[in-house]
A and B are shown apart, each in its own frame.
Chain A
Amino acid sequence: MEHPPATEITIHHEPSSSTKRIWKVFWILLVITLVELGLGLSLYALDLPEGLRMHLIKGVIIILSLAKAYYIVSYFMHLGDEIRNMVMTIVVPLMLFIWFILAFLGDGNSYKNLRNKYDPYYKERGTQEQLLKKEDRQEKKGGKD
């Protein structure tokens, strides 16, 4: 095949001859997804109360999702094959998400705490719901609808 007539490209990638890497990444993605599902279902089956163990499981699921994102971007989208200069122009701006997530989720949490503190109706509803929640979960496990 002739090389693409793109003048922007100084060094051409040699296309890989086999699809081995693609299938390897597919199996990795599949296994990660299955583990995620297992953890998601364990959250449901174990019926954990809000607490450290629940947050730990959710944390692992989030880290596994980030690993999946890495494999998709790096291998399926071939970003890992590009040169560093270009990769950084994509990856560095995305770092903003770290701050977005911390700031906005913290904001939401603070909103909840403030409403529980200053809005008697909201607090009453909230605590009532918290009480119901346990019973609610037990009912859900057996029942349909």
Chain B
Amino acid sequence: MTTTAVSQHQTKWWSGGKSPFNIEYGKLMMWYFLMSDSFTFGAFLISYGTIRFSQNYWPSPSFVFNTFPGAGHTNLPLAFVSLMTFILIMSSVTMVLAVHEGHHGNKKGVVKWLAWTIVGGFAFLSCQAWEWHHLITGAHNVLVDGKIEQWGQSMSHNPWGPLVPHEELQRLGLSVPEGEHVYTPGPVAFGGYFFGITGFHGFHVFSGVLINIIMLVMAQNGVFERRGHYLMIEKAGLYWHFVDLVWVFVFLCFYLV
């Protein structure tokens, strides 16, 4: 309804005397910042894609990301990252509800929904901390120079290479406990890109949470009420939704395909 009202309005936008973009300065600049930020993320993700396309082998995400906190060694591909995605979508909804309350100048509503958004942000960051910790401290059998070593996923080590056939292990005179497998080292670039890109995204989530906390305190103290509008909440909201938007593509590039 609002859309049609504005877009159908016959105004000569370029005839001077008014802003042809019909948007408040700070909000416009937030949009341009987010556009430039999307190029930064895009450059990272495309660089990752380029390296991935240049390799004959790349680890399958369903194999790398198949654990869930408290579930031990149960094979649960993509389950944990689905939870993380759901948390982020939910926090995006609570943020847009905060913006909605702001449109109506409802201070209590803004504070309530902002608080939930912050909770969602912390929940997401905690999930990421667990995931990183789990990957780094994991111990996987890797065949290095004819010996079996225990590797975790790090910037310099990738334990997710192709499987070493049983006959090959026998030939080398090596044995592993029943049910365990030995892999060759995988592409080293995997760790750098995974930690680099999810880390950069996590940094955005973290700064988004800080911004939201500042907004919460300001809203609670009645700063926006005195100002007569909640435009700052809209700008913080744009940033927060952008974080969710980037996750859509991180989720796509690292976990789904």
Interface residues of A (CB under 8 A from B): 1-11, 13-16, 19, 22-23, 26, 29-30, 33, 36-37, 39-41, 43-44, 58, 61-62, 65, 68-69, 72-73, 75-86, 89-90, 93-94, 96-97, 100-101, 104-105, 107-109, 111-112, 115-116, 122, 125-126, 129-130, 132-133, 135-137, 139-140, 143-145
Chain A residues, CB < 8 A from B1: 14, 16
Chain B residues, CB < 8 A from A116: 56
Q: Which of A22, A81, A90 contacts B93 (CB 8 A)?
A: A22
Mask: chain B, 15-54; 1 = CB below 8 Å from A; 0 = not: 0001111111100100110010011001100110111111
Chain B residue with Cβ nearest A128: B162
Chain A residues, CB < 8 A from B231: 4, 6
| Closest chain B CB from A81 CB (angstroms) | 5
B92 and A40 contact, CB distance less than 8 A: no
- Other than the known A3-B229, A10-B19, A14-B1, what 14 A-B pairs have Cβ atoms closer than 8 Å? A1-B229, A8-B25, A16-B1, A33-B82, A61-B257, A65-B252, A90-B31, A100-B46, A115-B54, A129-B57, A129-B162, A132-B162, A132-B165, A137-B60
**Complex Cα gap A76–B2 (Å):** 14
B62 and A44 contact, CB distance less than 8 A: yes
**Complex Cα gap A83–B57 (Å):** 47
B73 and A144 contact, CB distance less than 8 A: yes
A89 and B21 contact, CB distance less than 8 A: yes
B89 and A101 contact, CB distance less than 8 A: no
Query: Is B75 part of the binding interface, using a Cβ–Cβ cutoff of 8 Å?
Result: yes
A19 and B97 contact, CB distance less than 8 A: yes
Chain B residues, CB < 8 A from A75: 96
Query: Is B104 part of the binding interface, using a Cβ–Cβ cutoff of 8 Å?
Result: yes
List the one stretch of B4-12, B123-131, B207-215 in contact with chain A.
Answer: B4-12
Chain B residues, CB < 8 A from A101: 46, 49
Q: Which of B32, B38, B39, B248 contacts A68 (CB 8 A)?
A: B248
A83 and B51 contact, CB distance less than 8 A: no
| Closest chain B CB from A138 CB (angstroms) | 9
B54 and A69 contact, CB distance less than 8 A: no
**Complex Cα gap A13–B255 (Å):** 39
Known: A9-B19, A80-B3, A140-B163. A40 touches B255 (CB 8 A): yes
Q: Which of A76, A100, A143 contacts B42 (CB 8 A)?
A: A100
Known: A22-B97, A83-B6, A108-B49. A1 touches B38 (CB 8 A): no
A77 and B24 contact, CB distance less than 8 A: no
Query: Is B147 part of the binding interface, using a Cβ–Cβ cutoff of 8 Å?
Result: no
Chain B residue with Cβ nearest A64: B252
